[in-house]
């Protein structure tokens, strides 16, 4: 998790530097391979077995495994089982669910994924959301803040990054 976050901090500091994105991709590939080996050996890292921090780290590595959608799908299934058993955070499942749905070209459920449009040059906006009228109900059930509040935080964070 530390390598993941350090690579992303570097990228935020120098977004125009191609080496920054290459580092993020390399770290993501290494982390995905490591997490895949862990999951193959012992299943999803459950809270009771590894603690909150390690469970959170496993989710983060799965969230950033965009280069391996099949593995992200597998993690989403395992994470859903862990959430049902009280061994993982429903918020993490909401984020990973949206990440997978967006990668599949489907509308997200929880409104966690933002982008700058298909061409990457537009205003920051949420990727398409299914049934937007009931979005905040789904977010509340997953333990997430109301969408308007989250969207404001996302826009503020990304406008501060330049």
Contacts of 132 (CB under 8 A, 6+ apart): none
Greater confidence (136 vs 119) lies with: 136
pLDDT per position as a tens digit, 138-158: 999 999 999 999 999 998 887
pLDDT per position as a tens digit, 69-112: 999 999 999 999 999 999 999 999 999 999 999 999 999 999 99
> Mean pLDDT over all residues of the chain?
93
Cα(126)–Cα(112) distance, rounded to whole angstroms? 7
Contacts of 28 (CB under 8 A, 6+ apart): 4, 64, 65, 66, 67
Q: Residue ranges of the domains in the chain? A: 1-106, 107-162
pTM for this model (two decimals)? 0.91
Q: How confident is the model at residue 160 (pLDDT cuts 50, 70, 90)?
A: low
Contact 114, 154 (CB under 8 A): yes
| Tokens of residue 43, six digits | 């299943």
Cα 47 from chain centre: 18
Cα(9)–Cα(5) distance, rounded to whole angstroms? 6
Considering only CA atoms, give the Rg of the chain: 16
Contact 62, 74 (CB under 8 A): no
Greater confidence (51 vs 161) lies with: 51
pLDDT of 82: 97
């Amino acid at each position: 998790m530390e390598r993941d976050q350090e690579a992303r901090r570097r990228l935020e500091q120098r977004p125009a530097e191609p080496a920054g994105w290459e580092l993020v991709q390399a770290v993501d590939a290494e982390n995905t391979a490591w997490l895949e080996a862990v999951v193959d050996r012992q299943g999803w890292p459950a809270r009771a077995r590894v603690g909150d921090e390690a469970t959170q780290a496993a989710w983060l590595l799965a969230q950033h495994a965009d280069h391996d959608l099949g593995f992200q799908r597998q993690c989403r299934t395992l994470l859903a089982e862990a959430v049902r058993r009280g061994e993982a955070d429903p918020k993490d499942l909401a984020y990973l669910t949206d990440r997978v749905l967006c990668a599949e070209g489907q509308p997200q459920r929880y409104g966690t994924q933002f982008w700058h449009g298909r061409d990457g040059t537009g205003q920051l906006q949420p990727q398409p959301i299914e049934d937007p009228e009931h979005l905040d109900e789904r977010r509340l059930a997953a333990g997430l803040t109301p969408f308007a509040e989250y969207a404001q935080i996302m826009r503020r964070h990304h406008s501060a990054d330049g």
